[in-house]
Amino acid sequence: MNDSAYTDILYEKRDGVAWITINRPEVRNAFRTRTVAELTDAFSDARWDPSVGVVVLTGAGDKAFCSGGDQKERGQGGYAPGAGGATAQRPMDVEALHSAIRHIPKPVIAMVNGFAIGGGHVLHVLCDLTLASENAVFGQTGPRVGSVDAGHGTGYLARLVGEKRAREIWYLCRQYTAKEALAMGLVNKVVPQKDLRAEVEQWCRELLEKSPTALALAKQSFNIDSEQRAGVAQFAHTALNLYYQTDEAMEGRNAFVEKRPVSFKKYRK
């Protein structure tokens, strides 16, 4: 993919930093099939470009980092291939994007400038570092909208915040403030929104002064412990696509899109 063909993201490389911005602010930067393909492509470009030492992932505007999968693109069976236009014919491959973030041997910073929700929350969780603005809001929504990332989304989160907290976050689908996220070890630093970009640039400058090979080895070494989860992640995304075919999953999606209360009562076994 040629980056001039990107429609859903902005991609800019400057002074050693690759800035990847999800550019769908009208839907709180929700990702559709095409967005995920473009993000994965940009991470691949950043991986192999020797001029890039650090990657920053963020969302356009001042309201959201990312609100996860685009529920309006999702139908019975998952996110509709092709809905994003002629270049997005393959099914959504979130697992490939997660892999790209984890396996690029360069630090990835999530610059969280608002809502990091659902699959958008998982993206920041998988980044090496998270810097957030004071107005940032964190949370999972899967069990409310008929979805779940049972791969890295559950397992890696538990490594960050502990089992009890991770279960609370996933089961209750509550939202957490930036201050709460900092207290539970979910983010590295919180700054006023007006200072976020400058703070991220400062962290980038410090990272760019370090030995790239030492950073790559450190990242890959950290990854080894959780890499067994990669197999689980593939399995989890296959299972998720089967779950998406059920009426139960569609009830969650439909309730969000129709802006009505959800009712899962009849699916209790």
Binding-site ranges for ligand 2NE (CB under 6 A): 27-28, 30, 67-72, 94, 115, 117-119, 141-142, 145, 147-149, 240, 256
Task: Report, in Å, the least distance between residue 234 CB and ligand 2NE.
Answer: 13
Q: Return the exposure string of 200-233: e unless at least 16 CB atoms fall within 10 Å of the residue's CB, then b.
A: beebbeebbeeebeebeeebeeeeeeeeebbeeb
Task: Report, in Å, the least distance between residue 237 CB and ligand 2NE.
Answer: 7
Beta carbon nearer to ligand 2NE, 94 or 111: 94
Task: Report, in Å, the least distance between residue 267 CB and ligand 2NE.
Answer: 17
Distance CA(54)–CA(12), nearest Å, equals 12
Beta carbon nearer to ligand 2NE, 106 or 237: 237
Report whether 109 contacts 128 (CB < 8 A): yes
Beta carbon nearer to ligand 2NE, 83 or 184: 83
Task: Report, in Å, the least distance between residue 70 CB and ligand 2NE.
Answer: 4
19, β-bridge pairs? 12, 56
Give the amino acid at 41.
D
- Phi first, then psi, for residue 60 (nearest 5°) are -75, 150
Task: Please spell the DSSP secondary structure of 36-78, one letter per residue.
Answer: HHHHHHHHHHHHH-TT--EEEEEESSSSEEE--B-TTTEETTE
Beta carbon nearer to ligand 2NE, 107 or 151: 151
Task: Report, in Å, the least distance between residue 149 CB and ligand 2NE.
Answer: 4
Beta carbon nearer to ligand 2NE, 53 or 118: 118
